[in-house]
Chain A
Amino acid sequence: QSVLTQPPSASGTPGQRVTISCSGSSSNIGTNTVNWYQQLPGTAPKFLIYSNNQRPSGVPDRFSGSKSGTSGSLAISGLQSEDEADYYCAAWDDSLNGVVFGGGTKLTVL
């Protein structure tokens, strides 16, 4: 049972826009920023979004993040086949005094 809650799966067709939610609480997302990672099959996670909505250098602007209250969200527009991956949200938790991750969302491009 992960501290941050993500839907286990999401899907879309090429060119579509999909969103992945990440629900937390006042001790994590409610007071701290949300970060997102993309994990392609058989590879290490890749840094995707930081501080709720900032993209590291090299990340396409098709990827965007947002936060509202105790929830974060990752949006992918212009969906491509290479976006098929697992996506994880993460944040610092003030109660647990550590980094907590969501359980991950498996994105399928139909």
Chain B
Amino acid sequence: QLQLQESGSGLVKPSQTLSLTCAVSGGSISSGGYSWSWIRQPPGKGLEWIGYIYDSGSTYYNPSLKSRVTISVDRSKNQFSLKLSSVTAADTAVYYCAKGFSSSVDAFDIWGQGTMVTVSS
């Protein structure tokens, strides 16, 4: 059964770059033609889609974050990553990685447990 696990720095200083990785286990990130997304949730608030990388390597980002976001994939390590630059306190959130359902890019059937990232000096 496919599982996702986020990892990365839990504390990032303002203006620096947030870096997270999502390890995929129980299956190959390269099989199936799926999309792989990042979604975040500020404390006590709702969900916000950050972007996805498709099986082909193409990426699609939330327009409100596009200038600061990079999502990439490392097929040799069976993982994909998120980089968010110039962070502020508003980027403090639980960050989830998720797999696209079937060939969909807007439905997420498998989620990681989430990792809390705090932006603070």
Interface residues of A, Cβ cutoff 8 Å to B: 2, 32-33, 35, 37, 43-47, 50-51, 56, 88, 90-92, 96-104
Contacts and interface: CB of A to CB of B under 8 A. Distances in A.
Interface residues of B, number: 23
Contacts of A103: 46
Interface stretch (B11-19, B74-82, B85-93, B98-106): B98-106
B107 interface: yes
Interface of B: 37, 46-49, 51, 60-63, 96, 101, 104-114
B63 A88 contact: no
Contacts of B47: 37, 45, 88, 90, 101, 104
Contacts of A35: 106-108
Contact of B46 (A2, A51, A97): A2
12 contacts: A47-B101, A50-B104, A50-B107, A88-B46, A88-B47, A90-B107, A92-B106, A98-B49, A98-B60, A98-B61, A101-B46, A101-B48
A38 to B, nearest CB: 11
Contacts of B109: 47, 50, 56
Contacts of B37: 99
Given A44-B113, A47-B107, A88-B47, 13 more contacts: A35-B106, A44-B96, A46-B111, A91-B106, A92-B105, A98-B60, A98-B62, A98-B63, A99-B106, A102-B46, A103-B46, A104-B46, A104-B47
A16 to B, nearest CB: 25
Contacts of B105: 92, 99
